[in-house]
Chains A and B, each alone.
Chain A
Amino acid sequence: MDVRALLKDAGLAAFVAFMLALPMIGFQTVDFSGGVGITVVTRFGDVAISVVLVFVGRLALSLLQYPSWRPPLLMASVVVVVGLPLLKTQAHYPVITWLAVIASAVIAVRSAWLHFDVSGVVGRDENNRMGDAAAFIGRWFGPVFVLFAVIFPFLPTTSRYLLDLGILVLTYVMLGWGLNVVVGLAGLLDLGYVAFYAVGAYSYAIIARDFGLTFWACLPLAGLFAAFFGVILGFPVLRLRGDYLAIVTLGFGEIIRIVLLNWASFSGGPNGISSIPRPSFLGMPFHPNPPEGVTSFHQFFNIDFSAEHRIVFLYYLILILALVTNSFTLRIRKLPIGRAWEALREDEIACRALGINPTNTKLTAFAIGAMFAGFAGAFFATRQGFISPESFSFIESAVILAIVVLGGMGSQIGVVLAAVLLIGVPEFFRELAQFRMLAFGAAMVGIMIWRPRGLLAHRDPSIRLSDAAGAGR
């Protein structure tokens, strides 16, 4: 092994890291104490640490390419022995310490695994294995997950907090499944998905405010309005190339937000709309003292009033909405339109040659995705009781997209796992909240490089020829 080339390569990486870190990490802009303006404080220690980390990391990455297990393991041990005491002295970012430990653990495990894996071949084979695992999980664990989700509110360990978290995660699962129709199946990158979510939320809030309709009457309307907006936006721009579409949808998302922010007489402006009516169970409200002539939920079932009834009801509501989204997607994939989506994603020119109208096909995907976002938006409005343009920023779109991308575009079970991973898990690590979006961004880049089909990607061919023909794969 060519040690000199390795060191040179790692040295170059370290030099670049120095160039990157020196201005941005080396000097921190801080407010003048007691005065106006800003000044800088230096953090050269952190620069040094970044440079060392990059040097070691680059070296480790290069060593991983070698078929032998010894150098990576040696490297990992060096990282742990030398790196940890060094990092301990710098308490700025304990998370870096953790990352280093996890990275070295991964390296060590991987090198050990390489040792036992006689073939030493990773890559294609590994991908297939992961795909099979995903298919297995999807087939056998899907029903188990659903069962778990159904009994979740009645588990003894479930607190009000966990239930709220469950509602939040399920909302994102639903949004992820909705966006999966657009991104995963039709291959259209939609960066303004949150706009349709906003349309759904605001249409429910405004219809309920101005016309006094109930949640159940508004839910289809919210979906319809969102789908309508999807068609309005999609019609002119879906003829464009994929990457233009991304920017235009991004711009559309911003337009909706700016309009909601400034059109105060209609949307309440930055103050939003408050006291949005809560949903009722078959017309029975969840209220301790219902108005005259109305039976409330607890009176009808003759149980004591508890504020948790409404939460449990909301939980089931979003669970049902999400499952409807899921089964709808699974079904429509098998219909001609669903197949046309997937075909279009793979090769638009071939589709056109086969007589598929690309604009109309994309438009249906766009409208259906938007409709689900509209449903989710109406649910969001009724759950919060208050909405404002703050909730519908680009970051939300990015989070939903990250869920779909990480889960594996087109994979339904992947979306669930990614939503739990990205929305549920960070709730338990509140002190790391500031790193959340940083990690999302890095994860999106990493996934595209190493596992472009997602963490748990599995693509069932929607049509399979005979087994004999399929055996060649």
Chain B
Amino acid sequence: MEYFLQQLINGVTLGAIYGLIAIGYTMVYGIIGMINFAHGEVYMIGAFISIITFIVLGLIGITFIPLALMVVLLSAMVFTAAYGWTIERVAYGPLRGSFRLAPLISAIGMSLFLQNYVQLVQGARVKPMQPVITGGFEFFQGSGFTVRLSYIQIIIVVLTIALMVGFTFLIQRTALGRAQRACEQDMGMAALVGIDVNRTISLTFVMGAMLAAVAGMMVTLYYGVIDFFIGFLAGVKAFTAAVLGGIGSLPGAMLGGLLIGLIEAFWSAYFSVEYKDVAVFVILVLTLIFKPTGLLGKPDIEKV
């Protein structure tokens, strides 16, 4: 029971991180109908910017943890957003109206480029970081197994919930959210009623990149090691989460992320750690075969 509870805690933490990345996939898919294959790389860049900001803050002597966290969060979001914006402008923007596979191939190229760019400018070695936030609660010590709920896990889950709430508000209540939903339904019509479609799409990428940057910062804090290759697997898993929840659906992405996190944690705990990635891929395939619309998605109508 204690072991189960511990896996539940770990799974929810992991799920929060996947959910944040999955939102980026699902939003982009919803608005322009393409899989942003480079999104995993955006998350990786977010993690790098976080670790760099942490070290720079340490060097200039800002060691008050809450302040440092705020600065890192802001810096990661702002700079990663610049990457998200640029990726859209450079690799996807010129391809609107091109043939079907063009954006996807371009996205794969972008993904390769970013991975190797980071490897080149930051080095291929694993980047470790001293734990910034230590300690936590311990309970159920009775039966020989201690359940730990660390502060960092609490921060991750609370921050994720806060971001989700803010994000839902943004989509539901603001002019930008309205424009985005309009573009999602019918881009041509949205343009006719005066919505700047290009700007809306750019901002979609910017928002996706910001959320991915937060996920990157969380991973840096949680695991303490990152390298230039983390974006690949995390990207595929977050994509699986988006598909499982129903691609195009924002609550679906959050739900899917949570489920994938839980599945991964429980699979590693009760079956085998080696095959945990296989488990996620199998879920992706099974979802696509039996319920391609996902748990909360709308059916996809093909038009001529």
Contacts and interface: CB of A to CB of B under 8 A. Distances in A.
B18 interface: no
A438 B35 contact: no
B112 A444 contact: yes
Contact of A398 (B56, B95, B112, B130): B112
> For chain B, what secondary structure do more than half of its interface residues adopt (helix, strand, loop), or is it mixed?
helix
Contacts of A247: 35, 236, 239, 284
> For chain A, what secondary structure do more than half of its interface residues adopt (helix, strand, loop), or is it mixed?
helix
Contacts of A39: 55, 59
Contacts of A435: 116, 120
B100 interface: yes
Contact of B86 (A20, A259, A452): A20
Given A236-B289, A448-B102, A442 B277 contact: no
B128 A38 contact: yes
Contacts, number: 177
Interface string A228-271: 00000000110011111011101110110011011000000000
B161 interface: no
B281 A252 contact: yes
A178 interface: no
A254 B119 CA distance: 21
A24 B278 contact: no
Contacts of B83: 20
A159 interface: no
B123 A254 contact: no
A452 B127 CA distance: 38
A67 B86 CA distance: 28
Given A16-B85, A22-B79, A237 B108 contact: no
Interface stretch (B44-52, B179-187, B249-257, B258-266): B44-52
Interface string B45-68: 100110111011001000000000
Contacts of B99: 452
A441 B275 contact: no
A162 B82 CA distance: 45
B100 A187 contact: yes
A255 B281 contact: yes
Interface in A375-409: 394, 398, 401-402, 405
Interface string A261-302: 110000000000000000000000000000000000000000
B85 A40 contact: no
B169 interface: no
Contacts of A40: 52, 55-56, 59
Given A16-B85, A20-B82, A243-B35, A444 B106 contact: yes
Nearest to B284: A251
Contact of B113 (A258, A259, A441, A447): A441
A445 interface: yes
A445 B285 contact: no
Given A438-B113, A444-B108, A237 B82 contact: no
Nearest to B292: A240
B304 A27 contact: no
B292 A25 contact: no
Interface stretch (A28-36, A82-90, A164-172, A317-325): A28-36
Interface residues of B, number: 72
Given A28-B121, A254-B277, A448-B109, A243 B236 contact: no
Contacts of A426: none
B79 to A, nearest CB: 5
A370 to B, nearest CB: 17
B110 A445 contact: yes
Nearest to B45: A24
Given A27-B56, A40-B55, A259-B278, A438 B120 contact: yes
B289 A237 contact: yes
Nearest to A26: B52
A91 to B, nearest CB: 16
Given A437-B116, A448-B95, A30 B123 contact: yes
A452 B102 contact: yes
B285 A251 contact: yes
A191 interface: yes
Rank and list the top 6 A-B pairs by shortest CB-CB distance, nearest first. Answer: A444-B109, A441-B113, A441-B112, A251-B281, A19-B82, A438-B116
Given A24-B45, A248-B288, A254-B278, 7 more contacts: A16-B86, A27-B56, A243-B104, A248-B284, A258-B274, A441-B115, A442-B109
19 contacts: A16-B85, A19-B79, A19-B82, A23-B79, A24-B122, A27-B55, A189-B101, A189-B104, A236-B289, A237-B289, A247-B35, A251-B236, A255-B282, A441-B109, A441-B110, A441-B116, A445-B109, A445-B113, A449-B91
